[in-house]
Amino acid sequence: MAALGVAILGALCLVVPAASGSGPWVPHQGMRWQYQLQGALRTNLCVVPVSGGACVRPDVYDVDLYANDGVTLNTAGVAAIHSVGARAVCYVDAGTWEDFRPDASLYPPQVLGLSNGWPGERWLDIRNTGVLLPIISARVAKCAAARFDAVEFDNVDGYTNTTGFPLTGADQLTFDTALAGIAHADGLSVGLKNDLGQLSALQSDFDFAINEQCAQYKECNAYAGWLSAGKAVVEVEYHVPMSKYCPNADQQGRDAMQKSLALRAKPWRTCR
């Protein structure tokens, strides 16, 4: 999905959440997530959840590596998130090329495939790890420099799509496993985005999971193993009414939210 970055709304005070233990911060089940890739970052949202009661705020913000200008690292955004005691996850598109990124020229033509349906994006030949992994490593190093707590790699299921390349499940496993290693090497926890067909194979490599529309496509049960292992599973829904998926998400332990495809600050609502 195209990500245009976020700007800051509100004053900053650099209060970074304390680290827990010697390793990277890892999200736990029961946290409230905000997923925002466009528009002004708002850290003052307080919304009544579907379960009722007092308004609640996000515990975790999944935002773009870059600010709204598309070039400046989102360091100010991370500082704003930390100032309200929340955590920041760095959005990095690993499986598609985006023509609006400052490193777009580093991708040679032979690794660029078909459009993935989003403007300015094309699938990548993930078999060419010698070209792609150094570019992604540089991006993740920027996530760490901006003081993000974790990273989310998008479009890591190209083998299930029409990419223009004969990608296999084995190709995807090699690529995704390498991505997790890159994040961990920079001291960041890492989330697996979608890729339901390889959830079991990748569970030990990734620290949490993010899924889009598992209720809409009746796929949420695929995450039972991750939930049983105590790993956070974040569910983002765009079209299904919350009354249709919140009871199941709450019962099974998924951290579910309602968003629009534009992924701006609002609308945002959580199940609990």
For the segment 211-222, what is each residue's pLDDT rounded down to a tens digit?
A: 999 999 999 999
Nearest residue to 136 (alpha-carbon basis) of 89, 164, 96, 168: 96
The answer to whether residue 12 scores a pLDDT higher than 50 is: no
Sheet holding 33-35, edge to edge: 33-35, 60-64, 87-93, 150-154, 189-193, 208-212, 233-237, 255-258, 269-270
DSSP per-residue codes, 241-254:
-HHHHHHHHHHHT-
pLDDT above 70 covers a percentage of the chain that reads 92
The answer to whether residue 196 scores a pLDDT higher than 60 is: yes
CA distances from 202 to 8, 39, 124 (A): 35, 32, 20
What residue spans define the domains of the chain? 48-54+90-259
pLDDT-derived band of residue 15, with 50, 70 and 90 as boundaries? very low
The answer to whether residue 11 scores a pLDDT higher than 90 is: no
The answer to whether residue 21 scores a pLDDT higher than 60 is: no
Average pLDDT over residues 231-235: 98
Average pLDDT over residues 68-87: 97
User: In CATH, what class is 48-54+90-259?
Assistant: alpha beta
pLDDT digit string (tens) for 93-146?
Answer: 999 999 999 999 999 999 999 999 999 999 999 999 999 999 999 999 999 999
HEC sequence for 90-127: EEEECCEEECCCCCHHHCCHHHEEEECCCCCEEEECCC
Task: Assess contact for 168 and 187: CB atoms under 8 A.
Answer: no
Task: Tally helices (H) and strands (E) across the chain.
Answer: 6, 14
User: pLDDT value at position 23?
Assistant: 86
The answer to whether residue 41 scores a pLDDT higher than 90 is: yes
Nearest residue to 177 (alpha-carbon basis) of 197, 203, 154: 203
To the nearest whole number, what is the mean pLDDT of the chain? 93
Q: 110: Cβ–Cβ under 8 A, 6 or more apart, which residues?
A: 125, 128
Name the token pair of 267. 């609308």
Average pLDDT over residues 18-33: 82
Average pLDDT over residues 171-178: 98
Nearest residue to 268 (alpha-carbon basis) of 249, 242, 231, 232: 242
